Amino acid sequence: MNCPFCEDPLIQSLRISENELAFVFPTNIPITPGHTLVCPTRHVSKLSELTKEELDALMALRGTLTEALKKTFGAEGFNFAWNEGEAAGQAISHLHLHVVPRKVGDAGIYEYEPRKFLYRPGSREVSSEAELQAVARLIAKNI
């Protein structure tokens, strides 16, 4: 299959939380501290491929995660996004919901244009494994 979300040991070690049908881990190129991904456990590429139970599980984790991000990073709001298909910017064919915690005055794009929101101009540093582990532990403490 060659899917990093399914097969990469680093991503598996970064799981912050999970339920029977979905899991959460920090993205390696965050827009803001705490930017995480919520994925179904089963490998699907589109939202329409999820069962009702999988969608419910994904949304339940999203809810748990947002509460943890409020406690961990003082999030005052959130951007939620996913891309479906290469033309829409989906680089990994495993469906994933971006959860981006936001505070008034933080950096990044606020208007909703998916390519600007997820791939804003300028450089974004790739986080080190140690930084990802630390973020995962911080958020997991509040779940």
Neighbour tally for 12: CB within 10 Å: 13
Map out the domains of the chain as residue ranges: 4-140
Residues tagged active-site: 96
* CA gap 92, 71 in Å, rounded: 30
Fold classification of 4-140 is HIT family, subunit A (3.30.428)
Residues of the chain short of pLDDT 70, as ranges, are 107-124
Q: Which of 107, 76, 85, 94 is nearest to 37 (CA)?
A: 94
What lies within 8 Å, CB to CB, of 109 at 6+ separation is 116, 117, 120
What's the pLDDT tens digit per position in 39-49? Answer: 999 999 999 99
What's the pLDDT tens digit per position in 23-34? Answer: 999 999 898 899
Q: Which of 75, 49, 47, 45 is nearest to 59 (CA)?
A: 47
